[in-house]
Chains A and B, each alone.
Chain A
Amino acid sequence: MSVKAFKLVSAVEREMLMGDKNHINIECIECCGKNLYIGTNDCFIYHFMLDEKVSTSGKITFAATKQLHKYLGFKKPVSELKAASALTRLLVLCDNTITLVNMMNLEPVPSGARIKGAVTFTLNENPVSGDPFCVEVCIISVKRRTIQMFMVFEDRVQIVKEVVTPEQPCAVAVDGYYLCLALTTQYIILNYNTGISQDLFPYCSDEKRPIVKRIGRQEFLLAGPGGLGMFATVDGISQRAPVHWSENVIGAALCFPYVVALDEEFITVHSMLDQQQKQTLPFKEGHILQDFEGKVIVATNKGVYILVPLPLEKQIQDLLASHRVEEALVLAKGARRNIPKEKFQVMYKRILQQAGFIQFAQLQFLEAKELFRSGQLDVRELISLYPFLLPTSSSFIRSHPPLHEYADLNQLTQGDQEKMIKCKQFLMSYLNEVRSTEVANGYKEDIDTALLKLYAEANHESLLDLLVSENFCLLTDSAAWLEKHKKYFALGLLYHYNGQDAAALQLWVQIVDGDIEDSTRSDLYEYVVDFLTFCSDQDLVWKYSEWVLQKNEEVGVQIFTKRPLEEQEKNNMNPDDVISCLNKYPKARIKYLEHLVLERKIEKEKYHTHLAALYLEAILQLKSGTTDNCMETIELLLKLRSLLQKSDLYRIHFILDKIRGTDLHMESAILYGKLEEHEKALHILVHELKDFRAAEEYCIWNSENRDLQYRRRLFHMLLSVYLNPDSSDCALVMAAVDLLNNHAAEFDAALVLQLVPDSWSVQLLSPFLAGAVRQSIHTKRMTQVALGLAQAENLIYKYEKVKHKGAPILLSDKKVCQVCQNPFCEPAFVRYPNGGVVHTHCAANRHQNSNVTPHSSSSSSET
């Protein structure tokens, strides 16, 4: 797996340095801003200016212009160069001595300040002194096992510390007080301030040259066993997994997030983020690899080259282009600290979105969704992949540069229907999830319309749910789509949601009538009835009432009978209009009148009379018919009877006229009863119907809520009818006997005895007589008890009265009225049983104003 992270660009060619003098080699380099210094084995320092040029195609080249070269005057190589730009000094190590020269003209400082006896040196990039005009230099001394720390000023040096190490050091790096040392057999961390040391790991410096490189605050990179690049902090722990170099690595440099290493044949690039090797550049005879303020420079003996990092975004885009999502995201996240926050966020979001589309194209929907979510993708980017889903009115334009390489879903799936369906299912669930979140803000119309289209196309049941709940589906676009997919019922819902009930009804009626086809609902007729029932547009209700009633008058009448209560209260629909509308539909008309009379309990004579007349009409019609509609007739009869009995509003004579001459005896009996013509009624029940039970019940319900006298009168009347001397029907006699024996309490025994024929035996009437006697005795005793109680009560009152009369009441002008606190001026007064004395008028007022009984009035106000 490779990434193109760096490009190798030549900076200083051999001709510029040595021409054809082959013995001259580059020993060391230093780069500070644009200044490039090169130290050679023949004791020269060269100074170049490096200019970066970016060609129009974005290609970067470097042009080095030579400024100076200077011979230091020894026969020794220049082994190390370090710039201290704050002091405009270059530190030069040659012949174990560090001299200070001017960065610009390479002249030694006049003071001649120098550090002697240094094998190698390094600068503390995390200085502890805090003096900006001082650099801290750490050397490995020529003295055995000795490290020395110096402070170097513009033109003087000062030793700060000398530390003795347990073994001979061969390489050093510094961070603050911490020295990271490669000793002969191991690496250690040494705090030169406290002297405390910490072993890192063993390493044989005889076999391989150690590498100690500071890579950031308190962290070092070390060459470990087996070609490992080990990371270690000043606390002696490793916080990153090692990178794996080749065994013969010579140098290492850092250019976040990459670790660059040099061996005899290659430059290798590893990522610090996932430890993977990312790039390999062939590079022969390299011997120096260093980074200078982020610029990575490599050199052979003869030439200097720069490793130009490719912009991170370009690298990430390359990774994405080869669908390496994971690595791209790791790299992007790793770049966070190197890029300004706002810029990073914009970039990172975009990368997340792109990564989301890559996962999406591989049908990794879960991953894609998470990436879209975290990348705050404009959902329309996704919708726009699906042909025709975005409404034509949508203002959406895909972001540029594009987030993915696909024109549309057809291209992405290459016509694979199964994939296509999966993608659509994903979009359905995704849109359904986001439509009510803030992700949808600003383009709810686009989302809901797309969702509607997907549902309609897939024949998905949620289509209806979407349309009956709050939604932002655009009318014209959605309507056309629903029509195309023959979702007429849904289309009706859409019209309804948009306040176009007339259009909705028109469609639905067409479906019911079979003019257009849509099997969404088998009960669409009932649905329409229900819809009209709750439809507030009464014109529409009227318009479709005929249609509805023609289909099924009994169901259809609901549009009038089940209207919502609040509308009924405003009484918006005139019952008379409804009734005349229903004239053609007798069953519906009856139902409607029942609704008025029985449910709404409208107390209007005409509805009650009308209903009774309709019942009657229907019954008579059924009876005249040949077919035997027994059940229906009985049902109607019961309803009629119930109405006749319970209602007091209908025109009795009108109905009676209609009933006369029919065999509806029971009903005429009820009507006579209503007219208080009980004899006639009972006569019919007994003689016409011969229904003695009905006659008894008649007496009972006609005397309901009346006094005992009235009831007795009715029962007596019935008895008289039974015992009518004109007829000597034996059955009637038996009925009379039964009546008496079963309802002894409903008769005045004395009157009964007058009526009963003398021929009847006592035996026959014994239950009645026993009952009557018992009743009579009971009454007598009860009366005696009541009398006794009344006498006792009377006695109590008498006693009270006597008691009150007992003591005289003295009234003087010193006494004051308990109510108004004024003295008495007249002899008349009121005295309460508790002894309180008040003015007569005060007592009168008091009785009027309060319900407080005199007994409870206070008596404590006497002086």
Chain B
Amino acid sequence: MKKPDGKVVLLGDMNVGKTSLLHRYMERRFQDTVSTVGGAFYLKQWGPYNISIWDTAGREQFHGLGSMYCRGAAAVILTYDVNSLQSLVELEDKFLALTDSASADCIFAIVGNKVDLSDDCASPPDENRPEKAVAGCSSKVRKQVRVEDAIALYKKILKYKMLDEKDVPAAEKMCFETSAKTGYKVDYLFETVFDMVVPIIVRQKAEGPPQTVDITDYKPAKRTKSGCCA
């Protein structure tokens, strides 16, 4: 078996569409999935590198495994369902802590899936208010989660990780809205993430295998810490 050079992990509540996203990207298809048990992974050749992509189980029962899956990860894709505010809340409440074991320079992406279900008539943020929601496109429902909410979460994550906004990719760049069903922005999501993962792989290779990182001198944030007054 080829040994992967880097790892990308998909986290998020059950049913938000993690397996479907991965399936769409790897197999170019959308089909009904069965609830993921434990976890599954794919190997993706990206340039000269093999990137393993882990699909995790959203079920509460398997949350405990997340930490192990995230260990040494170069990127974590936090996934929610744009039609479920709860799924975004869960990311912060339940899943963020699991990423503590990820690589120190791990990048984060926040993905709102299932945009095909809601009307995505691009409307300026201030207009996107509940009182105006009546004028929606017929069968579709109003999105429950706005991109701005995801961006806010992204910034919270940076705080949590004690990372400086200047040192990491911009929030606008790392918050995606996708549809595994239509394929909308799915390739874009994974390709953007992979492109960002490559420099991390290169750095990890230069520093020696990440597996041998000595956890005693493991510093969660190598970059300048933010939020500290001089």
Binding site for B on A (CB under 8 A): 186, 196, 198-203, 224-226, 228, 230, 232-233, 235-242, 244, 273, 275, 334
Contacts and interface: CB of A to CB of B under 8 A. Distances in A.
A103 B211 CA distance: 40
B61 A225 contact: yes
B61 A196 contact: no
B71 A226 contact: no
Contact of B64 (A198, A203, A240): A203
Task: Please name the 8 residue pairs, one residue from A and one from B, whose CB atoms are nearest each other, closest first.
Answer: A235-B211, A242-B38, A202-B64, A228-B38, A201-B64, A241-B40, A237-B71, A244-B37
A533 B39 CA distance: 77
Contacts of A334: 1
A236 B67 CA distance: 10
B215 A198 contact: yes
Interface of B: 1, 3-4, 7, 37-41, 54, 59, 61-62, 64-65, 67-69, 71-72, 101, 211-212, 214-216
A237 B72 contact: yes
A226 B62 contact: yes
28 contacts: A196-B214, A200-B68, A201-B68, A202-B64, A203-B64, A224-B65, A225-B61, A225-B64, A226-B59, A226-B61, A228-B38, A233-B211, A236-B71, A237-B7, A237-B72, A238-B54, A238-B65, A239-B3, A239-B4, A241-B38, A241-B39, A241-B41, A241-B54, A242-B37, A242-B38, A242-B39, A244-B38, A273-B1
A847 to B, nearest CB: 81
A232 B1 CA distance: 16
Nearest to B4: A239
Given A196-B215, A242-B39, 17 more contacts: A186-B64, A196-B216, A198-B215, A201-B68, A203-B64, A224-B38, A224-B65, A225-B61, A228-B62, A228-B65, A235-B71, A235-B212, A237-B71, A240-B41, A244-B37, A273-B1, A275-B40
Contacts of B61: 225-226
Contact of B39 (A186, A199, A235, A238): A238
Contact of A232 (B7, B68, B101): B68
Contacts of B72: 235, 237
Nearest to A187: B68
Contacts of A196: 214-216
B65 A230 contact: yes
A233 B72 CA distance: 12
Nearest to A218: B211
A338 to B, nearest CB: 13
Contacts of B215: 196, 198
Contact of B211 (A201, A237, A273): A237
B1 to A, nearest CB: 8
B214 to A, nearest CB: 7
A477 B61 CA distance: 71
B12 to A, nearest CB: 18
A437 to B, nearest CB: 25
A230 B211 contact: no
A224 B56 CA distance: 14
Contacts of B211: 233, 235, 237
Contacts of B4: 239
B39 A201 contact: no
A275 B54 CA distance: 14
Given A196-B216, A235-B211, A228 B64 contact: no
Contacts, number: 67
Contacts of B7: 237
A232 B38 CA distance: 13
A216 B5 CA distance: 21
A158 B40 CA distance: 44
A230 B38 contact: yes
Contacts of B216: 196
B222 to A, nearest CB: 19
Nearest to B42: A241
A233 to B, nearest CB: 7
A257 to B, nearest CB: 10
A238 B67 contact: no
Tell which of B38, B72, B214, B215 has the most Cβ of chain A within 10 Å. B38
Contacts of B40: 241, 275
A225 B4 CA distance: 25
B62 to A, nearest CB: 6
A240 B71 CA distance: 14
Contact of B37 (A226, A233, A240): A226
**Most chain B C-beta atoms within 10 Å of own C-beta, residue among A198, A240, A241, A275:** A241
Contact of A238 (B3, B69, B212): B69
A334 B2 CA distance: 11
Contact of A225 (B1, B62, B101, B212): B62
A226 B65 CA distance: 11
Contacts of B212: 235
A158 to B, nearest CB: 29
A241 B216 CA distance: 28
A682 to B, nearest CB: 92
Contacts of A230: 38, 65, 68
A203 B68 CA distance: 13
A198 B59 CA distance: 24
Contacts of A275: 40
Nearest to B65: A201
Contacts of A242: 37-39, 65
B37 A238 contact: no
A704 B96 CA distance: 106
A301 to B, nearest CB: 31
Nearest to B214: A196
A240 B38 CA distance: 11
Nearest to A228: B38
Nearest to B210: A235
A335 to B, nearest CB: 12
Contacts of B101: 236
Contacts of B59: 226
A238 B62 CA distance: 14
Nearest to B7: A237
A244 B37 CA distance: 7
B122 to A, nearest CB: 38
Contacts of A203: 64
Contacts of B41: 240-241
A238 B65 CA distance: 10
Given A196-B214, A225-B62, A236 B38 contact: no
A570 to B, nearest CB: 62
B68 A236 contact: yes
Contact of B68 (A238, A240, A241, A244): A238
Contacts of B69: 238
B67 A199 contact: yes
Contacts of B65: 201, 224-225, 228, 230, 238, 242
Contacts of A201: 64-65, 67-68
A271 to B, nearest CB: 12
B145 to A, nearest CB: 29
Q: Which of B3, B59, B62 has the most CB of A within 10 A?
A: B62
Nearest to B101: A236
A200 B69 CA distance: 9
B37 A237 contact: no
Contacts of B1: 273, 334
Contacts of A241: 38-41, 54
A200 B101 CA distance: 10
Nearest to A235: B211
Contacts of A200: 68
Contacts of A237: 7, 68, 71-72, 211
Contacts of B38: 224, 226, 228, 230, 241-242, 244
A196 B214 CA distance: 9
A683 to B, nearest CB: 96
Nearest to A233: B211
B94 to A, nearest CB: 14
A186 B65 CA distance: 11
B37 A228 contact: yes
Contacts of A244: 37-38
